[in-house]
């Protein structure tokens, strides 16, 4: 873990990197195989650093980018004003149609024509429906923009063919290696064959934004990609989706608003605006009951980002424990019980006992 290896396989600035080269090349080859890519850079320490490398490679400071608003489900690095992406670049934001909960592609196109971005960003941190990558490509081509896809949240689904692969449409794709890929915390950059672009991306990662790669993490990435290539991983991802859909239905049936009306992937957003509850209070109450979710802003949220009016719920972790639809439905019911009686210590204690018993039945590690 303490071996410096600045550079790339076969082109290092340090000696003694023979085994490091083998490990990194293995990770690269497996990543390319997994996603059908011609190019892969496995060195980014995180998804945000992978995204920063894309900006550095393709843009100049002050260039216009068009990305999804953080308030509507985008990511900090897609142009939020508090991020480098909103500070160093002229960031224009698109969102969802609040009447449908879906991205309005006609509005994305209108904004692209009006602002002429150099880069169009497709991707999200909290959007439960399927992105239309051909439509994004069409819009990017209309204004002569790069199409950059951040598939961090759905990479595991993409790898198993359960979500559309953006590689045929995007100029460059990034992802994290945790989340649905279920690997170590880290980043990854992918692209189709384009020698000039590959050179720019490599230079933007090192030396542009990072020094030595974290070789222990890259070794874990290689293992992650190998696991994702196994048939069992597709079975897991399919169960992740079924569990998310089963949970979302419970919330809808119990009278809660699920943003976008449901989910096509591993996550969904529950809006608590109609109930007059805050995400902060709901998050804390569920935590006391042994259930971890995260407070999350929802479209037209009247609360601050530190308070919010929603919850973001995902199923990869519970599915890894072995939960199926029956357990997911039961869990969603317990969450609704907490929300229906927010602040009731007796309900929290009862749910805590039930949650602990279920976790005991489905341990993280089985001996």
Catalytic residue among 24, 109, 150, 301: 150
C-alpha 308: how far from its chain's center? 20
Residue 1 has pLDDT above 70, yes or no: no
Residue 254 has pLDDT above 70, yes or no: yes
CATH number assigned to the domain covering 234-361:
3.90.1150.10
The tokens for 163 are: 């979500």
The tokens for 260 are: 């976008």
From edge to edge, which strands make up the β-sheet containing 310-314? 257-258, 267-271, 310-314, 294-295
Mean pLDDT of 315-338: 98
CATH number assigned to the domain covering 7-228:
3.40.640.10
pLDDT digits (tens, 9 = 90+) for 150-183: 999 999 999 999 999 999 999 999 999 999 999 9
Query: In the chain, pLDDT over 70 holds for what percent of residues?
Result: 100
Residue 367 has pLDDT above 80, yes or no: no
Query: Containing H/E element for 48?
Result: helix 47-58
- Tell me if residue 64 is catalytic: no
pLDDT at position 198, please?
98
Mean pLDDT of 204-230: 98
pLDDT band at 366; cut points 50, 70, 90: confident
pLDDT digits (tens, 9 = 90+) for 71-109: 999 999 999 999 999 999 999 999 999 899 999 999 999
CB atoms within 10 A of CB 233: 19
Bigger pLDDT: 237 vs 3: 237
- Tell me if residue 13 is catalytic: no
DSSP state of 340: H
pTM: 0.96
pLDDT at position 191, please?
99
- Tell me if residue 6 is catalytic: yes
Rounded CA gap, 223 and 236, in Å? 17
pLDDT digits (tens, 9 = 90+) for 18-56: 999 999 999 999 999 999 999 999 999 999 999 999 999
DSSP 165-226: --TTT-SEEEEESSGGG-S-S-EEEEESS-HHHHHHHHHHHTTTT-SS--HHHHHHHHHHHH
Rounded CA gap, 73 and 128, in Å? 9
Per-residue CA distances from 70 to 11, 82, 157, 187, 253 (Å) = 39, 10, 22, 20, 28
Rounded CA gap, 351 and 348, in Å? 5
Rounded CA gap, 254 and 272, in Å? 12
CA dihedral of 24, 28, 30, 33, whole degrees rounded to 10? -170
Average pLDDT, the chain: 97
- Tell me if residue 179 is catalytic: yes
Rounded CA gap, 227 and 250, in Å? 32
Catalytic residue among 12, 137, 179, 249: 179
Mean pLDDT of 117-136: 97
pLDDT at position 301, please?
94
Catalytic residue among 32, 135, 185, 242: 185
Domains 7-228 and 234-361 alike in fold: no
C-alpha 100: how far from its chain's center? 22
Mean pLDDT of 300-307: 95
Residue spans per domain, the chain: 7-228, 234-361
Q: What angle do CA 43, 49, 55 make, to 5 degrees?
A: 110
pLDDT band at 2; cut points 50, 70, 90: confident
């Amino acid at each position: 873990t303490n071996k410096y290896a600045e550079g790339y396989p076969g082109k290092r600035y340090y000696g003694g990197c023979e085994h490091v080269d083998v490990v990194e090349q293995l990770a690269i080859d497996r990543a390319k195989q997994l996603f059908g890519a011609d190019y892969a850079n496995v060195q980014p320490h995180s998804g945000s650093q992978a995204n920063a490398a894309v900006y550095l490679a393709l843009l100049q400071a002050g260039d216009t980018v068009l990305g999804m608003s953080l308030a509507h489900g985008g990511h900090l690095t897609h142009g939020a004003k508090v991020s480098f992406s909103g500070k160093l670049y002229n960031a224009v934001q698109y969102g969802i149609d609040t009447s449908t909960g879906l991205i309005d592609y006609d509005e994305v196109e209108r904004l692209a024509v009006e602002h002429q971005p150099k880069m169009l960003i497709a991707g999200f941190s909290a959007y439960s429906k399927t992105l239309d990558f051909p439509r994004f490509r069409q819009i990017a081509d209309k204004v002569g923009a790069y199409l950059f896809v951040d598939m961090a949240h759905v990479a595991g689904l993409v790898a198993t063919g359960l979500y559309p692969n953006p590689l045929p449409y995007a100029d460059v794709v990034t992802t994290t290696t945790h989340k649905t890929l279920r690997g170590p915390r880290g980043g990854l950059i992918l692209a189709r064959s384009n020698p000039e672009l590959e050179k720019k991306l490599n230079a933007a990662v090192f030396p542009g934004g990072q020094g030595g790669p974290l070789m222990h993490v890259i070794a874990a990435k290689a293992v992650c990609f190998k696991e994702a290539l196994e048939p069992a991983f597709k079975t897991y991802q399919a169960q992740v989706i079924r569990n998310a859909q089963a949970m979302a239905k419970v919330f809808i049936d119990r009278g809660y608003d699920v943003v976008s009306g449901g989910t096509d992937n591993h996550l969904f957003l529950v809006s608590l605006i109609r109930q007059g509850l805050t995400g902060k209070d709901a998050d804390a109450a569920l935590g006391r009951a042994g259930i971890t979710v995260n407070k999350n802003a929802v479209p037209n949220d009247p609360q601050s980002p530190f308070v919010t009016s929603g919850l973001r719920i995902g199923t990869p972790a519970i599915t890894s424990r072995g939960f199926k639809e029956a357990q997911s439905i039961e869990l969603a019911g317990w969450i609704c019980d907490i929300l229906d009686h927010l602040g009731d210590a007796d309900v929290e204690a009862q749910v805590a006992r039930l949650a602990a018993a279920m976790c005991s039945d489905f341990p993280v590690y089985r001996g």
